[in-house]
Each structure stands twice: as C-alpha cells, then as structure tokens.
C-alpha cells in the first residue's frame, strides 16, 4: 500500500499508444480503438469516444428570497428521463472555453453574467471518453432572450442551494456534472474554497486560445 | 421561468423512440443511433453508448491516525494520465449491484467489508451513455489479497477525507464519480446526510436480482 505523500511517479502504470483505428464516425459520436503497450510490455486495446470538451456553468442569482441557482430540466434520451442539471454544453470547433460558457448560458437560459470564476475541471467518464467539463461560476446576471438550438427543449428554473442539495441527497439529481458542481458550491458557500472572480471583459481578454488537446484526443488529432 | 415547486411533468420535454440501429459493436464499446420523435412532433437522431452500469465504493477505514479512505491511482488512457479515484467497476452480465461492489472492492484493493450502505446513484454522461454508477459506502474492512484482472495495473493508497477534498479543490482529482462521492462523504461526515448501514450478510440476502434496464438501454435490449 503506497501513501499519498510518496512520489506520484506513474511510469509503472502508464500505457503507450502503438497504433489506432477509427471505429466509427457518427453524426455526434466518434469512437476509436487504439492498441497500447502496457507497463509489463504486453499489448491491449482501448476503445473510447473522442469528445471536444464541454463547459458547465453554476449561475448564481440574488433574489429577495436569497441566493438562487439557475437550473435546467431537459429530457436525456439515453437515461429516458427529464433530468435536473446546471447549464452546460460542448465546445464548438476552435472555440475558447470561456466563450463556450458564455454562449451556452445565454443560449439555454437567456442570462448574461457580469462576473465569472473558473473553479476547475472534471472528467465524466475516464474509462471510455476524452471528455473534460470545465466548471465555471457566473454572477451578476442580466436576463435576456434565450436562443435554443433547433430541436432543443428545456425548462429553466431557480432553486436555492439548500433545495438542490436536498435533491442530490434524495436521488432526484443524479447528473454527475451537477453533483461535481455541488461539491464546489458547497465548499465555496462555506468559505472553505475560494473563487477568483473576474469581469466578463477581463475573462474575454485573458483567454487567447482554444484548449490544447490532451490524452488520446491529442494522439488521434494532433 | 418555472419554479421547482411546480408540477414536474415532463410531457412537454419527452422524446419517443421510433426506431434504432446499432452503430457498432466493439470489444468494449457498443453504440446505437435511434430516431426519436421530439415534443414538437419533429424527428431527430440520438447516438449513445450502451453500458451495463457500474458501482463505485467509498471504503472507510479507521486507523491510529484517524479516518482514512481507500483510493486508487490508475492510468486512464483516454485522459492520458494516472488518475486518483475510488474503487469502481462495471457490472458483469446478470450480476447484482451489491455483488459487483463487493467483487470490485476485493479484486482491486484486497479489502472485504463487514458493513455496506447504498448512498445513491449517479449518471456520468447523460447526453451519450446509458451508464449509471451506484454509490456504496463500505466499512469494517479486512485486508486480504487483491486479484487484478489481466492487464490491470493500479496503485492502492490511503488518504484522509481532508486530503482528498484538498486534491479535488486543487484540480488533482478530476474524476467526476470520485467528486460525486466526495459530495456524499462530506455531507455524511458533517451529519447532514445519513446512511443506512447493513451487514454484508443482510445486503447479500436482500438484493434478489440484477438491476432492471432503463431508458434507451431497455429499448435496445428489453
């Protein structure tokens, strides 16, 4: 049993790409099968979905009834249910992460934010997808018109942090990205974790490029 | 803007399956493309991975230095990094959820647990996979021999809840299932959420069947 404090070298765990073939290219999903060399020198195959990455937004809004969160309810076909989740969406080709977050918040909820804070990132499915989800908080919201994609149907509603937490506890919220955001929100609200808030203009000026591709995504599409 | 307290009817959001075709069958990944009828009567396609479901375990162990968690470091090829995560694994065909949790904990870490508590469930990727991850806590651990699958390389280590929380905050833990477990753990340790602990024998006796298939998984494989 190793200890956390030991050197985190991972040479004895790492896999090296030998070759790869595209398994299929759907309209939305793209999957690859790579042959890899394992730490013991043996070969194995790894199948995975290539994903451009995504952004999830935790939108905070001050109301006369206290702090509220902007949430969505959307039918999720693979699960077969209308699910409660924070606004989120995929990066368009060549899009910067901040632009994606700003665009998705506006398109799906109609809100624009005056200030943003990047909390961190999440990998929803590390065994079979390259997807990352960047986590951003937004505040200073101004309501406007939403502009859903064609064929996108979703409800927007407000809930307090306490209400959303209770939904997580009771199993009515099971979306992993929303639960990951709640871990962030709970620690931010308690003061245990801090956020670095910046104006929309400063976020826009500071981020210069789309994110670099990493992991298997970089290997199949350098 | 709707309110949380309003009726959660989702008829105006739901999609109905019209037909489906298997996009491909890999050694690990299986993907489908379904044609669906949207709420406005128009057609759309939905592409998704069919997944048998999984279990993640939060193993608690009392040590002279206080409460610790049993964690793993494993190279995750799609991400290209050795990642810190709670023990987890997929259901074998026909396997019950509890049996899967007990098996994965033993195989990957060598530990057997005297008591278990089911916390809830998580959906890691609601837009393109049927996967669910059941969340279980385990305590009363007894160390034994682990039995990794062929080609499985992973380190097992202990960390305190405070250490793991700091790793989440600092971006060194980005696995969404582990972050979802931390939301549970933090609220359990604070006393805000409670767990229903049962002996291993009782869990074994009470769960009679593998989980029913739900959502798109039930449609393609009734």
DSSP string, A182-221: HHHHHHHHTTSS----EEHHHHHHH--SPPPP-HHHHHH-
Please name the residue of chain B whose CA is at the shortest distance from the CA of residue A42: B151
If you average pLDDT over residues A83-110, what whole number do you get? 97
pLDDT of residue B145: 86
3-state secondary structure A131-154: CCEEEEEEEEEEECCCCCCCCCCE
Burial of A26 (0-12, 13-18, 19+ CB in 10 A): middle
Task: Give per-residue pLDDT as tens, A22-42.
Answer: 999 999 999 999 999 999 999
Interface mutation vs chain B, best among A58, A79, A119, most B CBs within 10 Å: A79
Confidence of residue A165 (pLDDT cuts 50, 70, 90): very high
**What residues contact B171, with CB distance under 8 A and at least 6 apart?**
A120, A121
Nearest to B27 among A47, A85, A217 (CB): A47
Q: Does A130 touch chain B (CB under 8 A)?
A: yes
How crowded is residue A209: how many other Cβ atoms within 10 Å of its Cβ? 8
Chain A hits for B44, Cβ within 8 Å: 151
Instruction: Say whether A153 and B125 touch across the interface (CB within 8 A).
Output: no
A214 shares contact with chain B (CB less than 8 Å):
yes
Q: Is the pLDDT of residue B207 over 90?
A: no
CA torsion, ordered B106, B109, B113, B116, to nearest 10 deg: -90
Q: Residue A2 pLDDT > 60, yes or no?
A: no
Residues of B with catalytic roles: 150
Hey, are the CB atoms on A4 and B158 less than 8 Å from each other? yes
Distance (Å, rounded) from C-alpha A3 to C-alpha A106? Answer: 45
Confidence of residue B197 (pLDDT cuts 50, 70, 90): very high
Residues A168, A159 contacting (CB under 8 angstroms) = no
Strands B54-63 and B133-143: what pairing? parallel
Q: pLDDT (tens digit, 9 = 90+) per residue, A137-153?
A: 999 999 998 888 877 88
pLDDT in tens, A36-74: 999 999 999 999 999 999 999 999 999 999 999 999 999
How would residue B2 be classed by pLDDT, with cut points 50, 70 and 90? low
pLDDT digits (tens, 9 = 90+) for A197-209: 999 999 999 988 9
Give the residue from A16, A21, A37, A124 with the most B CB atoms within 10 Å of its CB, the best one to mutate.
A124
Bridge partner list, B199: B115
Rounded to an integer, what distance in angstroms lies between the CA atom of residue B87 and that of residue B70?
8
> pLDDT confidence of A6, banded at 50, 70, 90?
very low
Return the closest-CA partner of residue B140 out of B105, B108, B164, B165.
B105
Q: What is the rounded distance in angstroms from the CA atom of residue B133 to the CA atom of residue B122?
A: 5
**Given this model, what pLDDT does residue B119 score?**
98
Interchain contact A187–B (C-beta under 8 A):
yes
Give the count of Cβ contacts less than 8 A between chain A and B.
Answer: 269
Inter-chain residue contact B130 with A78, CB threshold 8 Å: yes
Active site residue A65: no
d(CA A116, CA B208): 49
Task: Judge whether residue A93 has pLDDT over 80.
Answer: yes
What is the pTM assigned to this prediction? 0.95
Is B109 in contact with B70 (CB distance < 8 Å)? Answer: yes
Helix ranges, B110-189 (H): 161-169, 176-189
Contact (CB<8Å) A179/B174: no
* DSSP output for B83-102: EEE--EEEPPTT--HHHHHH
In chain A, positions 64-103, which contact chain B (CB-CB < 8 Å)? 71, 73-83, 85
Q: What is the pLDDT of residues B98-124, one digit of tens each?
A: 999 999 999 999 999 999 999 999 999
User: B23 contacts in A (CB within 8 Å)?
Assistant: 24, 26, 29
Nearest to A128 among B28, B158, B217 (CB): B28
* Contact residues, chain B, for A33 at CB < 8 Å: 26-27
Answer whether A51's CB lies under 8 Å from A125's CB: no
Q: Which residue of A has its CA nearest to B27?
A: A47
Contact between B122 and A174 under an 8 Å Cβ cutoff? The reply is yes
Quote the CA–CA distance of B195 and B206 in Å, as a whole number: 17
């Amino acid at each position: 049993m190793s200890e956390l404090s030991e050197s985190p070298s991972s040479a004895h765990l790492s896999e090296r790409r030998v070759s790869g073939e595209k398994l299929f290219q759907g309209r939305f999903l793209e999957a690859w099968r790579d042959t890899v060399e394992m730490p013991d020198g043996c070969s194995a195959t790894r199948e995975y979905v290539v994903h451009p990455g995504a952004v999830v937004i935790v939108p905070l809004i001050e109301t006369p009834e206290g702090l509220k969160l902007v949430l969505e309810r959307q039918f999720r076909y693979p699960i077969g249910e209308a699910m409660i989740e924070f606004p989120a969406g995929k990066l368009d080709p060549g899009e910067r992460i901040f632009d994606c977050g700003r665009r998705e918040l506006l398109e799906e909820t109609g809100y624009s934010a005056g200030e943003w804070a990047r909390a961190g990132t999440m990998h929803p499915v590390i065994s079979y997808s390259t997807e990352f989800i960047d986590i951003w908080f937004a505040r200073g919201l101004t309501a406007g018109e939403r502009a859903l994609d064609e064929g996108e149907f979703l409800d927007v509603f407000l809930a307090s942090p306490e209400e959303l937490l209770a939904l997580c506890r009771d199993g009515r919220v099971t979306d992993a990205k929303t639960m990951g955001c709640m871990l962030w929100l709970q620690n931010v609200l308690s003061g245990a974790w801090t956020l670095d808030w910046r104006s929309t203009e400063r976020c826009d000026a500071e981020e210069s490029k789309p994110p670099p591709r990493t992991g298997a995504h970089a290997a199949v599409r350098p």
